[in-house]
Amino acid sequence: MVITYYGLECFKIQFGDLVLALNPLGKDSAYKAPKFGADIAFVSTAHHDMNGVESVSFGERKPFVIQGPGEYELKGMTARGFLTETEYWGEKPARTIDIVQSGGRNNTAYKISLEGMTLVFLGALSDAALPPEVKSAFEDVDILFVPVGGGGVLHAGDAHKLSVALEPKIIIPMHFGKEGSKELAQFLKESGEKGAEPVEKLTLKKKDIEGKKGEVVVLQIS
């Protein structure tokens, strides 16, 4: 598995010939959208910072889009989406009817299983108090993608507490802006990883994560 980070909550995950995209940045985003072809695109919330499916449609690859709670199985991958909430609005207002006047919107957290590894992608989660049924479903996590940036998603302190509670083998912080942001620095401090150096990409096999417990990996923005 090779994991590449494109900023905010956008990731490319490649298993052999299979390419997954997580929360791809859209063309209307204030952030630079990637350009690569994906077979499957996961979208956690209806916002152009996270639902840019057109950005990961390239050449012959037109992704199957997974958006919302439910169970999914295709191309050797199984996934399940769980309904949560987000208060994220982004630097540009979202042009979507999904905006709720109370200030919140739906977010889907995903549990993805592929090639013997389990990934949990929390998306733009804003409340660390997960419902009991969601928390129990996220047991035995190999890789956890957790937002740490505040501004409508989890702040560093809450992100750390939730990460500890879920007991993943590897934690990948996201949604922190530039690598030197205060929220990321605080998250690393609370995680005991204050001196963690960002890496360009993360390449893993199942055997590489055996015995790990809560190791934080910071990815550079490509």
Write the pLDDT tens digit of every residue in 60-100: 889 999 999 999 999 999 999 999 999 998 765 554 444 44
High-pLDDT (> 90) share of the chain, %: 80
Predicted pLDDT at 91: 62
Between residues 130 and 89, which one has the greater pLDDT?
Answer: 130
Measured distance CA(32)–CA(87) in Å, rounded: 22
78's CB contacts (< 8 A; 6+ apart) are 71, 72, 112, 113, 114
171's CB contacts (< 8 A; 6+ apart) are 143, 144, 146, 163, 191, 214, 215, 216, 217
High-pLDDT (> 70) share of the chain, %: 92
Report which secondary-structure segment, H or E, holds 157: helix 156-166
Whether 185 and 176 have beta carbons less than 8 Å apart is answered as: no
| Residues 40-65, mean pLDDT to the nearest whole number | 94
pTM of the model as a whole: 0.93
Between residues 193 and 95, which one has the greater pLDDT?
Answer: 193
Tokens 């199984």 -> residue: 78
Query: Can you list the domains of the chain with their CATH numbers?
Result: 2-216 (3.60.15.10)
CA-CA distances (angstroms) from residue 135 to 58, 62, 66, 190, 202? 36, 32, 21, 21, 26
CA-CA distances (angstroms) from residue 72 to 8, 24, 84, 199? 25, 19, 18, 31
For the chain, state the CA radius of gyration: 16
